[in-house]
Each structure stands twice: as C-alpha cells, then as structure tokens.
Structure 1
Amino acid sequence: MAALTKAQSEPNLAALEDELTCSICLCIFSVPVTVPCGHNFCASCLELTWANQVRDFSCPQCRATFAGRPQLRKNTVLCRVVEQLQGCGAGDRKEDDEREEEEQEAAAPIYCDSCLQAAATQTCLTCMASFCPEHLRPHHDSPAFRDHQLCPPVRDLQQRKCPQHNKLFEFFCSQHSCCICSLCLLNHKLCHTSPLQQAKDKAESALKKRLAELHNQSEKSVQAMNSVKTVQSQVAATAARKRDLLRAEFLEIKALIEEKENQTLKVVMEEEKRVCNKFDYIYKILGSKKNEIQSLRDQIEMALTEGDDVLFLKRAAALQRTSIKEAFVPVIEMDRNMIHAAYQSAINLKDVVKLAMNVSVDRRTDAKPPPGKMKPPSVPAPNKPVAKKKLAADCEYGRTSSSPNHGLNEQKCVDLYYLPLVPVSADAANVTLDFNTAHNKVALSERYTKMSVSDTLLNYNHHPQRFTDCPQVLGFQCFKRGIHYWEVELQQNNFCSIGICYGSMERQGLDSRLGRNSSSWCIEWLNSKISAWHNDAEKSLPNTKATKIGVLLHCDGGFVLFLTVEEKLNLIYKFKAQFTEAVYPAFWLFSSGTVLSLCQMKP
C-alpha cells in the first residue's frame, strides 16, 4: 500500500516540481523573487540577467517591460514550498536506500522449507512451500502431487495469499489497484477484475508505452536544448555583426565630422593667411618709407655741416623741395561674415547631432504596448519631400493646418512644426489600458483598448493603484521624455474626460478626479459643453463636434495638445506645464452609455 500511495503521489510531486522551476536556469528555485508581472525567478539568475542593463528592464518569461528596475523581494511562500519539496526529496532518497536493501535481500538464495539447507529450485503454490531437487522429487513421481502448481522459487509466500481468506491471489482489481483471491470477488463484483497474468500483461504494455513516451520527451528535450544553443549562437553572431556594423557607421560619422571640421578650419586658416599677407605687404611699404625718411635726415644733417654759404643754400633749397608723404596704415580686418558662417555651421551640426542623440536615447520601450512591436521611425533622406502636419506656434489662438486625417494613423511618426523648434517627429503610441487602475464599474474589452461603464460592480481584486471613487482608468504606458501621439475614439455618448496625469495622482477621494488636482490635465465633454480642467480650475471651450480626439504630448517642451482628428486637424486646447514626473494617459467615464476606444496606430 505504501508503494501504491507513492505511485499516486509521484505525478503530483513532478507537476509541483515543474511549477517550482526557474525558467532561466531550469532548476528548482533558489531564493525565489517575484517581478511586477507576477512571474518568479531565482534572485541570482535575475540579477545576472539584468547585470549589464541600465534601462529597458523586462521579464525574461513574458517580456513585459518596466519603467525602472523593479525592487526584488523574496517570495517567502515559494521558499517554504521549495523547502517542503526538498524535504520530500530527502524522503525519496531514504526510500531508495530501503529499496536497495530489499534488492540485496532479494538476491540472497531461497532455501528448501524441508531441509532448510539446500537452495530451493521450485515453489509449490498448492503446498505453499519451496523445495530443493531432492525434496521436490515426490511432486514429480507421485500422482498425488500431479495437480500441484509449481513455479520458480518465491521468497515470501505469505505476500501471495489473501490476509482475509488465507487463499492465493488469483485476480487483480483495477478500480482499487489491488490483488484479490477468489473469495474476494464477492466484494468486488461491481469492479473490473481480471486474472493476474492478464493484468500483468496489460500493466506491462502500459509501462512500455509510458517508457516510449518518456523516450520521445527526452529526445524532444534534447532537440529543444540544441535549438536553444543554436538560437543562442545565432543571436551572438547577429549581435557581433551588428556591433561591427555600428562601429563602421560611427567610424564613418566620425570621418564625416572630422572632414567637416577640417573644411571649417581651412576656411578660417585661409582667411587668416589672406589678412596676414596684406599685413606683410603693408609692413614692407612702411619699412621702405622709414628708409626714405632716414636718408633725407642724413642729407639734411650733412647739409648743416656745409661751410660754404653758396653750396649750403643750394642744398637747402633742394632739400626743402623734397617732400615725403605721411605713413598710412589701411584698415585690414578678417571677413567676419565668413568666420561667423563657419562658426554657425559648427553650431548647427552640433545641434543636429544632439537632437539625434536625444531622440535615440529618450525613446522608451516601456511606452510600447506589450502585444507587438513597432518599427523605429524612418529618417527622411536629404532633399526628399516629407508630408508634414503643421501646427501653428501659438496654439492658444487655434490656428491649425488642414492636413487630412489619414496621415496621422497610417504613419509611424507624426511630423510637426513648432515656431521655437526645428521640425520634430512624434512617436505614434499604441496605448493600452492598465487593468490594475480600472474602477470597479469600468469594463475593459478588446485587449484592453476599449472602456465602458458597467451597470453593476465588477468586483475587481484590490490593488493599491485602483481608483475607488470615480469610474476612471489609466493607460498602461508612461511617457517621461520625447514627443508622443495617440488617438481616442468617442463611440457613444459624450459624458467623459480625456487627459493625462502623473502616476502619483490620488486614487480615492475628491482629489482623485481627473483635472481636479495639480497632477492631471484633461478635456471634459458634458453633453454639448466642453471644458478644460487642471488644478480644479475650469475653462469653457467652444463646442466642436468630434468623434476622434488626438493627444499630442511634448514632455521636453512642456505642453500637451488636444486635437479633433477629422478631415482637418483642429486644436481644442493646449496646456502648458513643466512635467516633473512620468505622465500616463487618463480617462474618466461619467455615465453608463459612454464608450471610449483607443485607436491602434498602424506602422
């Protein structure tokens, strides 16, 4: 019975062991920790996986990304379960030792029950005794023993007898998994019973089938391991190739920058050489003028030493007629316009490089929806026309462009112009809803992209981020840097608010209402009335009919725009703010007929 109990418990232990296996090292958990998405890993495995990362932390199992490095805490419940499982393993080792001892005992010879000295060669199941060749002879010679059933030597004959009826086991009950005698059949008449040999053949066939399945599983495991190694090698080779390509690209960038530097420095050096050559020429002219003046001084000094009055007067008259012009130094300057143009070209190049680097660094992968990945925005080639959506610099006055709607939801990027900035591209964000923030009356559907108000409470599990007083819900993605754009469709009714908020906004009480605190900004539709709300201050807006709203968030520029996305882009309102925290899309549904849907931006 103990063996039977162990056989029944072994599949449960195997299943439990599979559940307590780390998906990184494929071993039983060692100091298990839990990440925010709910998966568990060994603390050392997770630390090693995230060792070389400074951002873009993700779950190794489901690839869910996190805004920052999660705080890893020991899962005490799993630790206790692992300890109990390991304790069961120690018990299994003890049973293995006992089994080994039983096997050693089974290897010992079976002695004759008559002489107790010679080894038995056969056992009589009728006499319930084992005999050596000498004492077995009557069973072969005497007709009285002709009907006795002989078999190879059996060590413990009592195990083959029914303890209740003291008769040999002849049948097997598959329902109770036990051997029974002929008298036990009366108690098992409703069970499926079969002779021992037939039951043995059936069990043997099942075990062989199980062995074949285990062999196939083992081969599949080996193939999977080889596949993992192959993919790992391919990833390493791909990464090496990408590194080489990146080095080549950056070397080319450095060469281009150095060439630009040399060209700019050459312009300044040539201008310097031109001006210095002029100065050298003037210096030579002034030297000649100096020699001419010195020669005239020498002649006058010689004339003053003349004693003959006639000769003196002749020389004096001649010297007085000699005139020398004053030394003149013309104004010589470098071409300031040329120098300034060269310097400005360097400044412009620096700004372009800084802008490109900021765009590449500030793009956050945690702002992408978990279901899919979007391609990075394409950079237009030089002198190639690009379709742009032009918004006026002063958005407070509502001057907008008339670009069609399809440009926003058919491109990965939304190209925009602002007066104080160069043309920039906004990331088209596929926003999904965060289930853990949804109020108990907010129903989420269509893969967390559609929200509505339920007539009854949905009894969501308690979560510290869940709204408790207002039927509100936040987006799963957060944005801290860069420019981002998403669209919301008003499917039914207009009793709703669309906006943004900090993750630290209150989740309960009056301060948890969107736009009624300093941590949120929103546009509110109350039937035909439209208002802008921030810090509990309302500003009435002109009524505009719209079924799709675009939200453009400029984290670095410090503003958020709300647009109507129809045949023309029309500005609803612009909020200006210095965002000090990560910003989340936020939604508030007032009545049960309100339905909002997040538009999925096509790549």
Structure 2
Amino acid sequence: MSAASNLSSEDQFLCSICLDVFTDPVTTPCGHNFCKNCITEHWNTNDRCQCPMCKEVFISRPELHVNTLFSEMAAQFRQSAQQKTSSSEQQESKPGEVPCDVCTGTKLKALKSCLVCLASYCETHLEPHLTMSGLKRHQLIDPVENLEDRMCTKHDKPLELFCKTDQTCVCMLCTVLDHKMHDVVPLKEEYEGKKVELEKTEATIQQMIQKRRLKIQEIKHSVDLSEEDADREKAEGVQVFTALMESVERRLNELIKTIEEKQKTTKKQAEDSIKELEQEISELMKRSTEVVQLSLSEDHLHLLQSVQSSNIHHPPPTKDWTKVSVPPASHERTVRRAVVQLEETISKEIKKLIKAELKRVQKFAVDVTLDPDTANPELILSADGKQVNHDEVWNSLPNNPERFSCCVCVLGKTSFSSGRFYFEVEVKGKTKWSLGVVRESINRKRQITMSPDFGCWSILFNNGNEYALADPPVRLPLKSERQKVGVFVDYEEGLVSFYDVDAAALIYSFTGCSFYNKLFPYFSPCKNDGGKNSAPLIISPVNQTD
C-alpha cells in the first residue's frame, strides 16, 4: 500500500488499450499489464496473439490470471484520483478567475501561468512543471489571462526587459535592434522601482484618505456643536420668551386691575353724587308739596300766619351743583405707563441676552498681532505688535505690495478663511478710530471706500459720532464713548458683530456677508489731529465678561 502512495506517475496505472485505470489487471509473459477484458478483446479481433506494447508474438494464447496485488494498487489509485477530481471540482474557475488551458470540458481554476509555455495550469496539469527537470526551469507566475500579450509582437519572444528610454517592455532581440543604445534594465528591476513608487503613491493616498476621514469627523463634530448651540438657543429662547410672556401677562393684569379700580372709584363717586342729589330732590319735593297745599288754602289769616311763622317760601338748603362733575376716567397714561414698564423689562432681557452672547463669542478669542509689513508709513507700532498710533511723519519703509500707502491703517498678521474668531481693542481716549475686518484682496495702494462692497466690514468713531461703514453709512446710537470694542466674525455664517465690552452691549452687526477669501483684522487709529487723537489703539487680552 505504501508503494502505491510513492508512485510518481499515473501512467503506471493506465491500460495502454483503453487509456483508463486498470480493471482486473493481468500480466502478459512479456511483462506488460492490461485490463483483462481489453487484452482478451484485442486478441479476439486479431489474427495473431501478440503484445500491443512490445509486439512480441505468442505461439499460443497465454493463460491470464488477475494480478491481485496490482489490482488493489490500481483500485487505490482510482479512489485517490476520484478524490483529487472531487477536490478539483470544488476549484472550478469562476467568472473573473483564470481557467486552466489544458482542462477539457469543465475548466478548473488555474494555480499558475507559465511564461515559457504561455499557458495556465490547474493543480493537476501543473504537476509536470513541479516534477520534471526540464519544465522546472520554466518561469511560473500567479495566473494571468492573455499570456500572448507578454510576448513581443514583433519578435515573438518573451517581454523580459524594460526600456527606460521609451518607457516600454521589450524582448532580448529588441535590445539589439530597435532599442540599441537605450537604457534597458531587467523587468524585475523596473518592477521593484515601480513598486516603490506605487507604495509611495499608496502612502499618499492613505494620507489623503486619513485627512478626509478627519475632515468627516471635524464636520460631524461641527454638526454636534451646532446642535448643542441650537438646543441651548432654543432653551434660552423658551426661557426668555416665557419670562416676557409672564411679564406681559402680569403687566396686563395690573393694567386691567388699575383700570377697573379707577372705574370703580369713578362709579362710586357718581353713585354718591346721585344719592345726594336724590336726597335733595326728595326734600325739595316735600317743600313743594307744602307750598302747593298752603297756596290752595282760602283762609287768609291762616296763610299769612303760616308764611310769617316759617320759611316755607324759601327752598331748603342745598349744594351748589354747578361746580360738581364726575368726568369719565382716563386710562391713557395708565396704558402708556404699563407699556413703558414692559419696555424696560424687555430691555433688561435683551441686555441679559447680549451679555450671554458676548460671553459665548469671547470663547473664540484669538491672539492678534499687528503686521508691520502692512502698516501705513505714518503709523508707529509697538515692539510687541499690540499698539498702533499715528505719527504725522512719513517713515521710510519698503513699498511692498502688502503695505497700505494711502489709508492710515494696518492689518493683523494672522488671516482667517473659516470658523469663528474674536478679538478686543481698547479705544479709550481717542477722538477718532476705525475697526473691523477686510478681505485679503482689498486695494492697498489707493484711497478706498470703506464698505462691504469693497471688502471691508468696519465701524468708525468720529468726534462723538459713530457709524457702521455700510453703503450708505449707518449712524449708530451712542450714549457714552466706548472704552473697549470687541469684534466677532463667523465666516460660514457671514456675520461680523461689534460689541461694547464694558457695557456688554451690541453695537452693530453686518449679516449675510460674502467673504470669498481670507479675512484680516483691520485697525485704523486715524490721524493724530495735532495731538488730540494721539492715544493708541491697543489690542487687549480677552477677559470673560462677568
């Protein structure tokens, strides 16, 4: 049995007549093996009794007996072949897989392709390339289709080299004919180089993928923050409007109560007057009756004596009603006073909201430093880049493209093209100043109109008057001079807001802005004005509003 497993070729178990595994193998006197039925039929159909293999002629037909040992070995081989076939059937080639070029009928999946034979082989048909010394030298690769594409169409030789000059695969003959004197290297060498390049490309692609995954996380985080902001705003809105509605309802109830009490007082006053008048009418009617009865008397003496002894001819004492009135109650001032009180309540709530809003935007504070390369030559910047004022002297500075030549202003060093940022500037003691943000593309060599249409979002303070530099400018209410101004930008929202930090009040907001490109913080201390406006603009650290 062990001998059977060590046999290296299936040919030993194939009958040379039927070309199949032996069935009841018998051995002829010359030593060759055949199926018993095959050799019997062969001799029955031929005139001479000879061996089909070596052609030895037997004088008499040999008596054949089944070789029991060889029969068992053949049966074992048949079983092994069936198992191998069954295993191969499980590896039947599927769409997209390279099939075996040798298999007939059902094509099995190829395990290797031979660059010499230009054929692909399944496990069974690959065996000669693994066992036969001549075939072992053939170059095997993972199975590929269209092996003819690996042959030089001009010389019908394998494409084994790579011409770096023409960037193409060539055969050995190409190097001595068409590609003579070209830079030619073995295919493997170029393969290794390209493989390194591909690995670098793959690394680059993976970095790009990672960056995009991080961007996805960033966007998702932004959405989460937006949802948190939305929830907070909704909760705050509900709280504020609930308080306002309660205040309105309370003021309305107080107004109704005040009006009703005034009406009640007026009504009581009228009722008291009516009651008093009715009493006087009753007394007058009683006196009238007495006068009428006395006047009807025909007793001259009695009438005269009665008149003399009493004041019947005089009306009873009464009030002078000509100056008495009960005017309808007026509720105009009551309503106005209630509305004023409501306005005060709303004003307080708005101030609370703005204070909370300012506290939130201060969380986006950035460290802004002035850029000397952009400063107008008449400006003086502090060494730390946090202060700027006007000098009235033209300093000799390089006229680089970033520098403002006409406008007395300077920009911050850091630009912003996304997100939100906030900074604060001290304007105390100045009679004129301007602050805001500008586009990177703003004209720096000419006088410009400071408005959003020209890439500038700013406010201007000028000798007690304050303006939002829109088109046209918007004059802003100013109760007192500013001490410190906060500037907040939401790039995606298109929002630029200015705050009075000390008063925790909103000065002005530009909304629906289109920024397009980078934004820079903008500062203008304006002209010195003979020393009246010599105080500097100071970029101050941001402290959270209490």
With the length of structure 1 as denominator, give the TM-score of the two structures. Answer: 0.40
Larger radius of gyration: 2
